[in-house]
Amino acid sequence: MTGADDLKALVRTIPDFPKPGIQFRDITTLLLDRSGFARTVELLAASVGGPVDLVAAIDARGFAIGGALAEKLGAGLLLVRKDGKLPGASIAEDYALEYGSDRLTIHVDACTPGARVLVVDDLIATGGTAAATVRLVRRAGGNVVGARFVIDLPDLGGSAALRADGVDAVSLMSFDGD
């Protein structure tokens, strides 16, 4: 997506976090900037072409973007949580990490069959978390209408994998080589 160069300047890069060789793209500096945060939400909302019933925001930085975007789109907010964080009955989806696996959950009654769901997170890298969220929403009967991210690390292939699975994946900015 174009027109987000000014926002890219608001993203802080933290070298060697969480381990040596990683360039961590930190959106907290973008969120601190009132106009930058508002513009981020505006651009993400403008990239959505049709109606959305629910915004599925991924734990945890996705909550900040997802909540604001859901309000802007007139949609509800579906929280996609890490395992053990939801108080009610839930369904879960496992996904692979570099070393091991993790699990995401949603409440069993959070997504009605046929609901139009937009998946949202701050960043997409390998796409494991986003793909697990897509599978979870589909298992619940939801119709994934797209996925939106503030940042894409295209060299890691996550957005391409989502598109190969039929998901319209859009990011506001990308950082190559990470």
Name the residue among 56, 28, 43, 50 with its Cα closest to residue 131: 56
Residue of 12, 39, 42, 61 with catalytic role: 61
Report the largest interatomic distance among the alpha carbons of the chain, rounded to a whole angstrom.
44
Burial zone of 71 (CB within 10 Å; 0-12 exposed, 13-18 middle, 19+ buried): middle
Tokens of 131: 């793909």
Query: Which run of H or E residues covers position 92?
Result: strand 90-97
Q: Distance between CA 164 and CA 159 in Å, rounded? A: 9
Query: Which run of H or E residues covers position 62?
Result: helix 61-73
Query: Which run of H or E residues covers position 79?
Result: strand 76-82
Annotated catalytic residue 71: no
Residue of 25, 98, 135, 138 with catalytic role: 98
Tokens of 156: 């890691």
Catalytically active residues are 61, 98
